[in-house]
Amino acid sequence: MKKAVFFDIDDTLLDTSNFAKSARKSAIRMMVDNGLPIPFDEAYSLLKEIISQKGSNYDKHFDVLTKTVLGEKNSMLIALGMITYHNIKFALLRPFPKTTDTLIYLKSKGYRLGVISNGLTIKQWEKLVRLNLHNFFDEVITSEEVGFEKPNKYIYDESLKRMDCEAENSIMIGNRLDTDCMGAINAGMSAILIDPQVTPEEIQRIEEDNLDIEIIKNISEIEDLL
């Protein structure tokens, strides 16, 4: 009998990738319309390149963008990009459909709930608090806090310790096989992979290695498993 259920945040509880993409596109559109002297497609590709080089938690993507295009930073365009990015991101921020219902269901079944997330502590809490999801979770553990990222075993061990729960009674739920699920398996937990685009290779790997991982396409299917 499972007692604790841990969730990933980004692309598991909410559609982070899609709202970040919309927010970046709107920001670039605004910067180009207000004087960044290259076409939209080129500017957007450049931004994606900068993000993949610097990482998504770097906070000066637009500085680098204007410096690359203009030879020097342009504060007006940077501010315009940042404001647009944040306005759009927060305007679109919602949990995936049925997420809150599923959390209510799990609480009503008596599970203790936690979050294990790779990311900056305050950024991850901000998402939970804005969506009013934070009350569901007994513990929120971030890689920044712990000093190790999923799939490192240490972040799961620390999470289990804080939750005062054994690995064999705990389950990790996330959208990434390699990080969320494999890390949990290596820490002795089981896992649920939520992935509408799971590949045949991934399914084969789970079956061949007889891994304790269930695959679902939608968070609401958790109700059939727990």
Q: Which is nearer to a second copy, 75 or 132 (CB)?
A: 132
Q: Which of 199, 144, 210, 156 is nearest to 180 (CA)?
A: 156
User: Does 101 sit near a second copy (CB under 8 A)?
Assistant: yes
Residues 161-190, interacting with a second copy (CB under 8 A): none
User: Does 218 sit near a second copy (CB under 8 A)?
Assistant: no
CB of 162 to a second copy, least distance (A): 19
Task: Specify the stretch interacting with a second copy by CB under 8 A; choose among 79-87, 125-133, 158-166, 193-201.
Answer: 125-133
Q: Which is nearer to a second copy, 52 or 108 (CB)?
A: 108
Task: Specify the stretch interacting with a second copy by CB under 8 A; choose among 29-37, 132-140, 158-166, 171-179.
Answer: 132-140
CB of 36 to a second copy, least distance (A): 27
CA 115 to chain centre: 11
User: Does 13 sit near a second copy (CB under 8 A)?
Assistant: no
Amino acid at 165: C
User: Does 226 sit near a second copy (CB under 8 A)?
Assistant: no
In eight-state DSSP terms, residue 96 is: P
Task: Specify the stretch interacting with a second copy by CB under 8 A; choose among 45-53, 103-111, 177-185, 188-196.
Answer: 103-111
Residues 6+ apart with CB under 8 A from 192: 171, 172, 173, 174, 181, 213, 214, 215, 216, 222, 225
Q: Which is nearer to a second copy, 96 or 154 (CB)?
A: 96
Residues 6+ apart with CB under 8 A from 10: 16, 17, 117, 119
User: Does 100 sit near a second copy (CB under 8 A)?
Assistant: yes
User: Does 197 sit near a second copy (CB under 8 A)?
Assistant: no
Q: How far apart are CA 194 and CA 176, in angstroms?
A: 8
User: Does 110 sit near a second copy (CB under 8 A)?
Assistant: yes
User: Does 133 sit near a second copy (CB under 8 A)?
Assistant: yes
User: Does 136 sit near a second copy (CB under 8 A)?
Assistant: yes
Q: How far apart are CA 118 and CA 126, in angstroms?
A: 14
Task: Specify the stretch interacting with a second copy by CB under 8 A; choose among 128-136, 144-152, 176-184, 189-197.
Answer: 128-136
- Residue with the two structure tokens 């939970």: 128
Q: Which of 95, 112, 98 is nearest to 5 (CA)?
A: 112
Peptide bond preceding 200: is omega within 30 degrees of 0, i.e. cis?
no
Output the CA–CA distances (angstroms, integers) from residue 75 to 46, 82, 123, 129, 150, in the order listed: 18, 10, 24, 30, 36
Binding site for a second copy (CB under 8 A): 95, 100-101, 104, 107-108, 110, 131-133, 135-136
